Structure 1
């Protein structure tokens, strides 16, 4: 847990417990020791999140169900204000106290709680928001939400293809084309099967419109997508007319 260099004291100091004062005689190793209760209760100890797996602690947030717990952290005003101060660049407990308008004691309590729950961490230059933790929570929430497009089955028939499609296709939109060729084949076949009926002839303008809808949010254009489908023979072309062969559907 980073220290406030101006005072060389950890964020536990404002708690004003008698044991805190007696556990840190001059000349000792400071708050990182294991001699007193103040060093086992705070986030700077060997049992705390700073020395284990980072901001994710065994007592912290875990899984999609804990998204509500993360939101609940900020239901208490002092924690919200302390967190906002860190978001805006406060890197030490003293800076959090100054920018949040909290008393040192309230700032200390709020920071301890935020640290224990993994939403702030040591960013190298001081306190920082643990953005990776929020990304993890968002991914977990999406995966567990049946209404989320990425959580729905794509009807691929096997788990490996489903995993590829969940990553690269969202709500009938292409996120991006995979770099690995075998994954790209899965995605392109899926787009062909979901877009064109076998044996039906489509003018080029219609093909472009249908493929453009897949590419709205993707760093690839419909022309590139159409070329792939033709090269892989998911679409046949003649005189400006395209059709999906029945053999592709049965394969």
Structure 2
């Protein structure tokens, strides 16, 4: 499954509601239909599309989120560490004219919750 296929599978409101019901514990099409208040035909079609996309597994008739497939999408779509410049490198051009240094700017971005720091690694939110 690709990120594009994942987005396509969840682009429909009914399928998002069906997926949410399964995530929250509905294990059959009947239970999903009751939770999301959709006709059985819509639920069965949605479950089939979610299964085809790799989001849902239906082992022995019990519906469940296919967590391994979701983890694979995240793992396969991560950008390499060097693809995006480090926060310090990206901020230095903004501070080249003076007035503020990149460390102060980085601190302001963290204070405004636009940047986070965990274990010494800065990431955009």
TM-score range, shorter chain: 0.5 to 0.7
Determine which structure has the larger helix proportion and give its number.
Answer: 2
- Which 4+ stretches in 1 moved above 2 angstroms? 122-125
Q: Pick from 110, 119, 125 the counterpart of residue 216 of structure 1.
A: 119
Q: Are 1:118 and 2:54 counterparts?
A: yes
Partner Cα distance (2:56, 2:30) in 1: 16
Q: Deviations over 1:212-239 (max 9, x none)?
A: xxx937xxxxxxxxxxxxxxxxxxxxxx
Q: Are 1:104 and 2:40 counterparts?
A: yes
1:124 deviation in Å? 6.0
Partner Cα distance (2:36, 2:68) in 1: 24
Q: Which residue does the alignment assign to 2:17?
A: 81
Instruction: Tell me the matched-pair count.
Output: 87
> Could you tell me the TM-score, scaled by structure 2's length?
0.62
Partner Cα distance (2:59, 2:41) in 1: 23
Q: Deviations over 1:138-165 (max 9, x none)?
A: 11101xx2xx41xx39xxxxxxxxxxxx
User: What are structure 1's unaligned runs of at least 5 residues?
Assistant: 1-60, 154-170, 172-214, 218-251
Partner Cα distance (1:133, 1:72) in 2: 15
Structure with more relative contact order (C-alpha pairs < 8 Å, separation 6 or more): 2
Determine which structure has more spread, i.e. the larger CA radius of gyration: 1
> Could you tell me the TM-score, scaled by structure 1's length?
0.32
